[in-house]
Chain A
Amino acid sequence: MSKRSDIKSPAAVDEDHKFVSACQKGDINAFQPLVEKYQKRMLNLAYRMTGDYEEACEIAQEAFLSAYRAIKNFRGEARFATWLCGITINHAKNRMKMVQSRSRHEVPSLDDPVETENGRLPHDPPSDEVPIVEQLERKEVQMKVQECINSLEEEHREVLILRDIQGFSYEEIRDILKIPDGTVKSRLFRARDAMKHCLKTVISDL
């Protein structure tokens, strides 16, 4: 979780507020640093929610656009990152509902992502430093982990992603999802328990 610490630093928060203020005064260009800073995080959040890279790209774009439209209403009570994550989560949930209702009425298309026995084809580019066999094993394990994330109920999935992957505090999760502290904890407990059972099932040597 150390990789996300730079975003949480007070200096980074002040910098965010500076750009947000400029945007609120009508400076469009001030939004660009915010997009560049948070694009990877929002894309990963959307990707872990959906398990689909293309969908995640669409969701992240829509989330940034929505954030710009609503930036006048952002009062700075929460961190910009927290506010933006809430928007992204909502877009992801809406998108998934739309995709699910669409998939019920449509036959599989040739353009759909290629499904393999272990799930969809991985999107991450392989690193050159790790031996091929280890890479394949790692990819396979990661796909299984994502499968298990996808198998969680939506309310458990979002809590698990925000806490264990995105590294938000309980208070921040409470603010993003607008649910009480106790609910955050209980949902997280159930999410982790479900993940443990799922991973035990899909990964034999765990």
Chain B
Amino acid sequence: MTECKQIQDLLPAFLEGILSSDEKRLVDEHLATCQQCSAALVEQKRITLLVQTLDEVEPPPWFAQKVMSKVREEAAGSPLTAHHSPITRIISRLFYPLHVKVPIEALASVLIVVLAFYVYRSVEPEIKVVQSPSEVANPSITLPGTEAWKKPGQPGASTLTAENKPALGRWRDKTADRITETPGTGTPKKLAPQEAPPLGSPTGEPSKTETRESAADRMKQEIREAASSPRQKEALQEQKVPLPAPGASEARGTVSSGAQGGMKEALDSSGGQSTGQVKTFAAKKAEPIGFTLRVNDVTTAVGEARQFLGQLGARSMSAESRDGTAVVTAQLAVEKIEELLKKLSTLGQVEEKGSRPATAEGFISIRIEVTGKP
């Protein structure tokens, strides 16, 4: 029976003719002797015949046409065919598959971000420079020493150049800070008002008026120039190009002679220095006052006069002697003139030339001509 089961399992393959020659001979020999397996073979043939001879169904007559109409609809909406209208092609490109569209969109987003960052970084310095005048214009105008920092030849500016070279390299980033700083030392602006009063008290109305009008206009103009060409300004300062400023050498002389004249206490601080520069500026603008001093001993009188001037806080003292006449020039606070006159009168006969300034503050040039008595 076991053999019959094995033979019956081989019958389908036997009918298909795919058995090996050994298997086929085995089946043939067994079928010749076994009635049961022969009956099973007949049964298998009938079953196979039943399945293989199933009637085929016919497709409906519209079948092929319907399939083709669907295919044509499909082709009209897909990029498979070449004969598309341009509009259809554009629309199909708008609906690229996600695996194409997403990387392109991601790349575009990254590019936009990078571009925006680059534009922001490149525009940032100009934004700061443009903002700085509006932020600092008013405080700068009223500050003492605003004139000096613009002139590289002046001590303030030269000190700035010497001491703050690293800061100069960061011009664009530090523009606003530097405008608000008192020039010369980079000291914050709050120091100026604090230091101003001791020396500022003699600062007269003319100085303020001048500062608020002409200096204000000049300030605005120069800030505009600085905003438009900060690099030029920087280059000028770094190269220490001396501007044709007559007050520059004058101011420098004032500082040095002032120090010699025992005014160190006033010049130790930057505030004093910068305040003095404003006063110098005011003195430069006023008409000089001339004195004629007639004395017996010109040389001694000159020495005395210089001593007086030193005591009164004069600056830029110079003396020259020619043909028995000595001329002492100096910068002196306006309110000290009367005191000077009194002291000079102790030396000899004093004559005053020229008119006194209307203002009561600031420095003024004085010229003392010392001559021997006839």
Taken together as a complex, chains A and B put the C-alpha atoms of A35 and B68 apart, in Å, by: 8
On whether the beta carbons of B57 and A64 are closer than 8 Å, the reply is no
Residue of B nearest to A27 (CB): B81
Residue of A nearest to B46 (CB): A206
Given the known interface contacts A28-B75, A196-B44, the answer about A123 and B67 at a Cβ–Cβ threshold of 8 Å is: no
Residue of A nearest to B82 (CB): A26
Contacts of B81 in A (CB 8 A): 26, 28
Instruction: Spot the interface stretch: A9-17, A90-98, A109-117, A140-148.
Output: A140-148
Taken together as a complex, chains A and B put the C-alpha atoms of A146 and B23 apart, in Å, by: 32
On whether the beta carbons of A61 and B9 are closer than 8 Å, the reply is no
Q: Is A171 an interface residue (CB 8 A)?
A: no
Q: Is A195 an interface residue (CB 8 A)?
A: yes
On whether the beta carbons of B59 and A40 are closer than 8 Å, the reply is yes
On whether the beta carbons of B57 and A44 are closer than 8 Å, the reply is yes
Which A39-73 residues have C-beta < 8 A from chain B? 39-40, 43-44, 47-48, 53, 56-57, 60-61, 64-65, 68-69, 72
Taken together as a complex, chains A and B put the C-alpha atoms of A40 and B56 apart, in Å, by: 8
On whether the beta carbons of B57 and A124 are closer than 8 Å, the reply is yes
On whether the beta carbons of A47 and B52 are closer than 8 Å, the reply is no
**Nearest Cβ in chain A — how far from B154, in angstroms?**
83
On whether the beta carbons of A32 and B68 are closer than 8 Å, the reply is yes
Interface centre among B57, B72, B78 (most CB of A within 10 A): B57
Taken together as a complex, chains A and B put the C-alpha atoms of A119 and B279 apart, in Å, by: 121
**Nearest Cβ in chain A — how far from B319, in angstroms?**
106
Residue of A nearest to B44 (CB): A196
Q: Is B43 an interface residue (CB 8 A)?
A: yes
Q: Is A36 an interface residue (CB 8 A)?
A: yes
Taken together as a complex, chains A and B put the C-alpha atoms of A64 and B70 apart, in Å, by: 10
Q: Is A133 an interface residue (CB 8 A)?
A: no
Contact with B along A163-206 (1 / 0, CB 8 A): 01100000000000000000000001100100110010000001
Contacts of B125 in A (CB 8 A): none
Taken together as a complex, chains A and B put the C-alpha atoms of A199 and B44 apart, in Å, by: 11
Interface centre among A125, A146, A189, A192 (most CB of B within 10 A): A192
**Nearest Cβ in chain A — how far from B134, in angstroms?**
66
Main SS at interface, chain A: helix
**Nearest Cβ in chain A — how far from B343, in angstroms?**
113
Contacts of B51 in A (CB 8 A): 145, 149, 160, 164-165, 195
Which B41-71 residues have C-beta < 8 A from chain A? 43-44, 46-48, 50-52, 54-60, 63-64, 66-68, 70-71
Residue of A nearest to B50 (CB): A145
Contact with B along A25-37 (1 / 0, CB 8 A): 0101001100110
Taken together as a complex, chains A and B put the C-alpha atoms of A152 and B78 apart, in Å, by: 40
Q: Is A107 an interface residue (CB 8 A)?
A: no
Contacts of B52 in A (CB 8 A): 1, 164-165
Taken together as a complex, chains A and B put the C-alpha atoms of A124 and B105 apart, in Å, by: 56
Q: Is B290 an interface residue (CB 8 A)?
A: no
Contacts of B9 in A (CB 8 A): 189
On whether the beta carbons of B55 and A142 are closer than 8 Å, the reply is yes
Q: Is B12 an interface residue (CB 8 A)?
A: yes
Taken together as a complex, chains A and B put the C-alpha atoms of A39 and B78 apart, in Å, by: 24
**Nearest Cβ in chain A — how far from B16, in angstroms?**
9
Known: A61-B63, A64-B70, A206-B43. 15 other contacts (CB 8 A): A3-B56, A26-B81, A32-B64, A35-B68, A40-B56, A60-B67, A61-B70, A65-B71, A68-B74, A69-B80, A145-B51, A160-B51, A195-B47, A195-B51, A206-B47
Question: Interface on A for B, CB 8 Å cutoff?
Answer: 1, 3, 26, 28, 31-32, 35-36, 39-40, 43-44, 47-48, 53, 56-57, 60-61, 64-65, 68-69, 72, 123-125, 141-142, 145-146, 149, 160, 164-165, 188-189, 192, 195-196, 199, 206
